[in-house]
Structure 1
Amino acid sequence: MATTQDVYYVSGSTAILAEDMGKALLAQFQDIRFREEKIPFIHTPDDARKALAHILQQSEGGQPLVFCTIMDQETRDVFNCPEVKFFDIFLNTLELLEQALGVKALREPGYSRHFTISKMNKRVDAIHFSLEHDDGTRPAEYDEAEIILVGVSRSGKTPVSIYLATHMELKAANFPLTADHLDKHELPKEIVRNSKRAVGLTCSPLYLHTIREKRYAGSTYASLANCTRELQQAKQLYQRHNLKVLNVEGRSIEEIAVQAIQAIGLTKKQRPRTRDISGRSL
């Protein structure tokens, strides 16, 4: 079995989709080290031939993997040769969709960019909001937040907030529960007022202790007793204000983000909107 493998993501557009889908598949093969390269904006068969020559030269006969999202058949077919292991990410799925829907697909390269561009302002706004409302900053503006993460120190609030902004275009704020709030058994009025959009993060005392010990070994802050006390006080606050609670232990940032929006009902299906040929909502 090969321990290293060359991989190329080729596309008539940015190659972001080819790379994302290829990486998702390759992640299932943990024992192989992949050397990856992205080759975007291949518009013509001549572009494809030049790219293929580069691939073969770089791989030195090693039969690299090529993940492709090129729509034009003549251009795409250049890569479908014995010297590479070719994976057409779009074609088979697109044909099945055409059969299922009874409609021919546009088959236009880079068409998804219409939708990406239309969402760009929302994503940028969400990122700015999340950065400006990190770690309890500017709580007076929490009415604008689409989701608020609450939790004790080192419970994962900031990375999840940033993920929610960058990948889900959500305005996410996060608030740290310090001794001031825990000892007084009070949440800020801005969170109480928006409690339906707030999620309380929790975990086991041992898990929190292990995380804190990595940076503050031997401190009272990281002690198991202190972690136990803070988490118990946080739990009481969540119950008092009917906050949805999410256990973050052993979960990835992506999992926590998805489960957080599910907890407050943000994944409920919305009324579908018709789009015109430019991708604009009607």
Structure 2
Amino acid sequence: MWKSKDVYYVSGNTGILAKDMGKALLCQFPEVSFNEELIPFVRTESQAKKALERILQQSAGRYPIIFSTLFSKNLNKIFDIPEVEFLNICDHFLVRLEEILEAKPIREPGTARALDDTAMTRRVNAIHYSIAHDDGTGTKDYDEADLIIVGVSRSGKTPVSVFLATQMGLKTANYPLVDDNLQTCRLPPEIIRNKHRVVGLSTTPDMLHSFREKRYKGSTYAKIATCATELKQSDQIFLKYQIPVVFSDGRSIEETATQVAQELQLKMAADSGK
């Protein structure tokens, strides 16, 4: 068994797809250490040969792994040599789709991430909106939101909101449940009238205590008892207003954000069916 392997992600564009897919596969082999390098924007035969030359110089005799998302057959042939372990991520599926659809693929790099003007404008607007409506600011504009995340302080609302704006183009506001909300078990009218686009975010007392302790060590705010009480009160609010809840503990920001978006879609689908 190899204890370590050199890995190269080769792409005709940014290489994000090659790296993401490669990492998703490599993480299944935790006993092997991987030395990774991204080689983006390989679009000509000259660039491909130069990249291969560098790979062979750095990893000669170690049979490095190359993950490729290059669409050009000619460029892929340059890398597909006995001295490397070449994995063409896209070509197998592209050929199969060509058979299924009875159509020829354009085989141009970057088309998967190309955004038209409308989509780009929407994403930029979503980012601006989310920044301007972070942590309970600008509640008067909540009618414009695609999504409103509600939860106690330090439950992960801001990073999830930013991800939803930057990656999904959703205008996301987030509102912290303050003492007045928790004690009265009530939400502001701006949130109540937009209840169909509200998702609650929660976590465990231990996780909440950990996050708060890092910022306000030894404070009443960070005590495990305070965290447990606030989370219990937030649960009562979510139940009262029939707000779907996503738990952020043990999940990455990406996973949490995806589940929040899914809950929003399910909620809106259910409301439209009434």
Same fold (TM over 0.5): yes
Q: Deviation at 1:155?
A: 1.0
Query: Do 1:261 and 1:267's aligned partners in 2 also have CA atoms closer than 8 Å?
Result: no
Aligned partners of 2:263, 2:230: CA distance in 1, in Å?
A: 23
Which protein has the bigger helix share? 2
Partner-residue secondary structure (3-state), 2:265: coil
Q: Deviations over 1:86-135 (max 9, x none)?
A: 01011111111112222222222332243466632222222222122111
Partner-residue secondary structure (3-state), 1:175: strand
- Give 1:2's aligned residue: 2
Aligned partners of 1:111, 1:15: CA distance in 2, in Å?
A: 13
- Give 2:240's aligned residue: 240
Paired residues for 1:259-270 under 5 Å: 259-265=259-265
CA shift in 2, pair 1:23/1:243, >3 Å? same
Matched letter for residue 49 of structure 2: R
Partner-residue secondary structure (3-state), 2:95: helix
Aligned partners of 1:133, 1:163: CA distance in 2, in Å?
A: 14
Identity %: 51
Matched letter for residue 223 of structure 1: K
Aligned partners of 1:95, 1:231: CA distance in 2, in Å?
A: 51
Q: Deviation at 1:59?
A: 1.8
- Give 1:87's aligned residue: 87
Aligned partners of 2:75, 2:200: CA distance in 1, in Å?
A: 51
Aligned partners of 1:73, 1:268: CA distance in 2, in Å?
A: 44
Unaligned 5+ runs, structure 2: 270-274
Which stretch shifts more, 109-118 or 251-260? Answer: 109-118
Paired residues for 1:9-158 under 5 Å: 9-115=9-115, 119-158=119-158
Aligned partners of 2:70, 2:248: CA distance in 1, in Å?
A: 39
- Give 2:272's aligned residue: none
Paired residues for 1:103-252 under 5 Å: 103-115=103-115, 119-252=119-252
Partner-residue secondary structure (3-state), 2:5: strand
Partner-residue secondary structure (3-state), 1:265: helix
The Cα RMSD (Å) is: 2.2
Matched letter for residue 126 of structure 2: A
CA shift in 2, pair 1:110/1:201, >3 Å? closer
Unaligned 5+ runs, structure 1: 270-282
Matched letter for residue 233 of structure 1: Q
CA shift in 2, pair 1:136/1:18, >3 Å? same
Q: Deviations over 1:114-164 (max 9, x none)?
A: 346663222222222212211111111111111111011111111111111
Query: Do 1:4 and 1:34's aligned partners in 2 also have CA atoms closer than 8 Å?
Result: yes
CA shift in 2, pair 1:164/1:232, >3 Å? same
Q: Deviation at 1:268?
A: 8.3
Q: Deviations over 1:9-30 (max 9, x none)?
A: 1122232222222222223233
Partner-residue secondary structure (3-state), 2:149: strand
Partner-residue secondary structure (3-state), 1:200: strand
Moved over 4 A (4+): 266-269
Matched letter for residue 197 of structure 1: R
Q: Deviations over 1:216-242 (max 9, x none)?
A: 343211222212221122122222222
Matched letter for residue 207 of structure 1: M
Matched letter for residue 153 of structure 2: S
Query: Do 1:149 and 1:161's aligned partners in 2 also have CA atoms closer than 8 Å?
Result: yes
Matched letter for residue 224 of structure 1: I
- The number of residue pairs the alignment matches comes to 269
CA shift in 2, pair 1:218/1:110, >3 Å? closer
Query: Do 1:152 and 1:176's aligned partners in 2 also have CA atoms closer than 8 Å?
Result: yes
